[in-house]
Amino acid sequence: MQRNLTHQLVHDLGLAIVQGRYAIDDSFPTEAEVCKQFGVSRSATREAVKMLAAKGLLTSRPRQGIRVRPESRWNLFDTEVLGWLLHSRPTLDLLLEFTQMRQGIEPSAAALVAEQATPEAVAEIEAALQRMRDAEAGFDDALESDISFHTAILVASGNRFIAQMSAFVETALRVSIRFTNAMKGVTGADVNAHAQILDAIKKGNPRLARKKVEALLEESIELIEKGRARDAS
């Protein structure tokens, strides 16, 4: 029970911080005030503050109290922090930066899969692509199947650091895919473009696999840039 209350408090306070309800470097409610406002114990409050400090959102020091840290210090690779940001204020600038980050990782991951992936790893990507085909026919979820394809490639890369990016990528894709699909006026991904990536991987052609992923991400960049230009006009 205590653990659940603590995590709920982390969520509520974290979301409030990301939404700007507490000023940066300004005084934050005291532990006693948080306890009273949220109806939780002092120990749950202290644990929540520690967890938010670990995520880079808060700092707590003697005589200075609890303070909100600048966004530049927030751990955006923390899936909770990223989720709060994307669901409270998902700016096109943030989606652009996320997609640029994907450009630095996913093409290389696909190339690694083409070079060295096991049959079992490739089978996971094939299963994800089949889910995308099923989604086109209305038998699966278009968003979930699209996400599963991209995260399967990260995991199949055989690189432990890249594989651990899958949860982060999944969190952001839930917002960015919806945006780019809406911009294209479609409800699901281009299954053929994803099939070409898998085909390059199965042929053991890392150069082609990299190129196909780069093309997919470049299209997303162009759509986001169009959205930014539209908003600026």
- What pLDDT, in 10s, does the model give residues 124-171? 999 999 999 999 999 999 999 999 999 999 999 999 999 999 999 999
Quote the pLDDT of residue 60: 87
pTM for the predicted model, two decimal places: 0.87
Backbone phi, psi, residue 28, to 5°: -100, 155
- What pLDDT, in 10s, does the model give residues 178-230? 888 888 888 888 999 999 999 999 999 999 999 999 999 999 999 999 999 88
Query: Going from the N-terminus, what domains does the chain have, and what CATH number goes with each?
Result: 2-73 (1.10.10.10), 90-232 (1.20.120.530)
Q: What's the Rg (C-alpha) of the chain?
A: 21
If phi over 0 gives left and psi between -120 and 50 gives alpha, with beta otherwise, what is residue 22? Answer: beta
Q: Which residues contact 138 (CB under 8 A, 6 or more apart)?
A: none
Tokens 């996400």, residue? Answer: 147
3-state secondary structure of 27: strand
Quote the pLDDT of residue 2: 53
Tokens 């049959």, residue? Answer: 119
| The amino acid at 169 | V
Q: What burial letters (b/e) apply to 103-132, b meaning 16+ CB within 10 Å? A: eebbbbbbbbbbeebeeebbebbbebbebb
Residue 142 CA to residue 187 CA, distance in Å, equals 7
The alpha carbon torsion through 103, 104, 108, 109 (nearest 10 deg) reads -80
- What pLDDT, in 10s, does the model give residues 27-50? 789 889 999 999 999 999 999 999
Residue 81 CA to residue 93 CA, distance in Å, equals 17
